[in-house]
Amino acid sequence: MSVNYWNKKVETADREELLRQQLEDLKITVARALKTPFYKKRLHQVGLESAAEITSLDDFYRIPFTTKNDLRDAFPYGMLAVPVDEVVRLHASSGTTGIPTVIYHTRPDIEVWAELAARSMAATGMTSKDVFQNMMTYGLFTGGLGLHYGAEKLGSLVIPASSGNTRRQFQLMKDFKTTSVHATPSYMHHLFNKLQSEGISRRELSLKKALVGAEPHTEDVRKKIETLFKIDVYNSYGLSEMNGPGVAFECVYKQGMHVWEDSYLMELIDPDSLEPLEDGAEGELVFTTLKREATPLLRYRTRDLTRVLDKPCECGRVHRRIARIKGRTDDMLIINGVNVFPSQIEEVVMKLPESGTNYQIVVEKAGALDQLTVKIEVNETVFSDDARDLNALRRKIGDYLKASITISPVVELHEHGILPEFEGKAQRVFDRR
């Protein structure tokens, strides 16, 4: 197997040296965090006044965990560690309510992120010879721009196609002889299904590899995409709070994802007791940024469940690997790669004067893609109106939901008493994928 490094010195560094550097960067990160109103208060509460008090990891572990809710509470600038004029970009993702969680980046932050992305792509064997079609959404979501800068750094020809418009994706793939793509695994499946209906033969494409991520998927899903397209598929993991894609990536051995430990301090905890877990045990990933200037995050709880694989990888990288993400500990749904909290839907539904008290959220597979259906019980009066009014109401609710969660659901309107009622905790979310 041929192993390709982007930054051999860092990727194959002496592990002791890596750990020593982590501690140095941790102190710098804590010093940066102390400049933010949020962490200043948080750290003072546990008696930490200065970064100089961090002399070991044990000192650091006195600091409480940071959660998505903390980010939301600190909106918009409570976790910003630099003057706004040093910030060159922000990305945002869904919060549990309408308030997004925002991560700011300075120019050096973007540079570090691009380096991690370049490293990640090089680990899969990508080079400057690749034509890279990026089918992840460009925008506030990190999937598009995240790998874009890394691929440019690598010297690949980047096609910033963004997501959707399958016919155009095929055209671009044929016109420019795309060799590698970046998409959600469900979109890769969808793409394959559309090949036939568009009358395109696999042989017309020059595709060799796909980087897939942004949503949970199994080893079988990977194998299926590999078999269908006859390509190599690599798992890509990240979250916007830790920049986005480029946190952990598979190398050519495809035995788990290397976490770039020079940029992220990784912990694995029991999500109930919050105690640290041994390598090999399944638990929740917790990350601390080690290099980020604008938005340092300390001990951020990802809610993602996985295992740390402690055995060295044959590729020679010293950065530890994590197993495929098994699921999440919270109720966040990932629908075609987009994060959606049921509470966001509830907020929209319950604000409607027409809605009753009961609703249901159903997610299922429609072909290869995910489909979201929101079933809502509405007041009797709605049904006595003209059918055209009902359709208009359905559209209006669809538009409101799209504005909040960015995806278009199917909206079903029901009379009172149709949806099941619950005596105890209501079950409103049915994930049938």
Residues that bind ligand DLL (CB under 6 A): 93, 136, 141-143, 213-216, 235-240, 244-245, 302, 304, 325, 328, 334, 339
Please say which residue, 246 or 356, places its beta carbon nearer to ligand DLL.
Answer: 246
Please say which residue, 240 or 289, places its beta carbon nearer to ligand DLL.
Answer: 240
Going by C-alpha positions, the residue among 27, 25, 17, 22 that lies closest to residue 54 is 27
Please say which residue, 233 or 325, places its beta carbon nearer to ligand DLL.
Answer: 325
Please say which residue, 146 or 356, places its beta carbon nearer to ligand DLL.
Answer: 146
Please say which residue, 48 or 257, places its beta carbon nearer to ligand DLL.
Answer: 257
Going by C-alpha positions, the residue among 340, 367, 330 that lies closest to residue 214 is 340
Q: Which residue is nearest to ligand DLL (CB)?
A: 213
* Backbone dihedral region for residue 210 (phi beyond 0: left; psi -120 to 50: alpha; all else: beta): beta
Please say which residue, 216 or 398, places its beta carbon nearer to ligand DLL.
Answer: 216
Give the CB-side neighbour count of residue 402, counting CA atoms within 13 A: 10
Q: How far apart are CA 382 and CA 355, in angstroms?
A: 9
Please say which residue, 226 or 354, places its beta carbon nearer to ligand DLL.
Answer: 226
Beta bridge partners of 429: 361
Beta bridge partners of 374: 361, 411
Please say which residue, 338 or 419, places its beta carbon nearer to ligand DLL.
Answer: 338
Q: How far apart are CA 308 and CA 290, in angstroms?
A: 19
Q: In the bound complex, what is the minimum distance in angstroms from residue 320's beta carbon to ligand DLL?
A: 16
Q: State the amino acid at position 422 in one-letter form.
A: F
Q: In the bound complex, what is the minimum distance in angstroms from residue 2's beta carbon to ligand DLL?
A: 24
Decide: helix, strand or coil at residue 42: helix
Q: In the bound complex, what is the minimum distance in angstroms from residue 128's beta carbon to ligand DLL?
A: 22
DSSP characters over 104-158: EEEHHHHHHHHHHHHHHHHHTT--TT-EEEE-SPPSSSHHHHHHHHHHHHHTPEE
Q: In the bound complex, what is the minimum distance in angstroms from residue 335's beta carbon to ligand DLL?
A: 11
Q: How far apart are CA 355 and CA 362, in angstroms?
A: 18
Length of the chain: 433
Q: How far apart are CA 272 and CA 351, in angstroms?
A: 34
- Output the six-digit token pair for 387: 């059918």
Q: In the bound complex, what is the minimum distance in angstroms from residue 242's beta carbon to ligand DLL?
A: 9
| Dihedral, 342, 308, 222, 129 alpha carbons, nearest 10 | 110
Please say which residue, 254 or 394, places its beta carbon nearer to ligand DLL.
Answer: 254
DSSP code of residue 211: E
Q: What is the largest CA-CA distance in the chain?
A: 74
Q: In the bound complex, what is the minimum distance in angstroms from residue 356's beta carbon to ligand DLL?
A: 32
Query: In angstroms, how far is the first alpha carbon of the chain from the final one?
Result: 35
Distances (CA, A) of 292 to 54, 81, 84, 109, 416: 18, 10, 15, 6, 51
Q: How far apart are CA 285 and CA 303, in angstroms?
A: 7
Please say which residue, 37 or 327, places its beta carbon nearer to ligand DLL.
Answer: 327
Q: In the bound complex, what is the minimum distance in angstroms from residue 20's beta carbon to ligand DLL?
A: 29
Q: In the bound complex, what is the minimum distance in angstroms from residue 290's beta carbon to ligand DLL?
A: 19
Q: In the bound complex, what is the minimum distance in angstroms from residue 222's beta carbon to ligand DLL?
A: 10
Q: How far apart are CA 222 and CA 45, in angstroms?
A: 46
Please say which residue, 231 or 239, places its beta carbon nearer to ligand DLL.
Answer: 239
Q: How far apart are CA 219 and CA 404, in angstroms?
A: 32
Q: In the bound complex, what is the minimum distance in angstroms from residue 294's beta carbon to ligand DLL?
A: 17
Q: In the bound complex, what is the minimum distance in angstroms from residue 213's beta carbon to ligand DLL?
A: 3
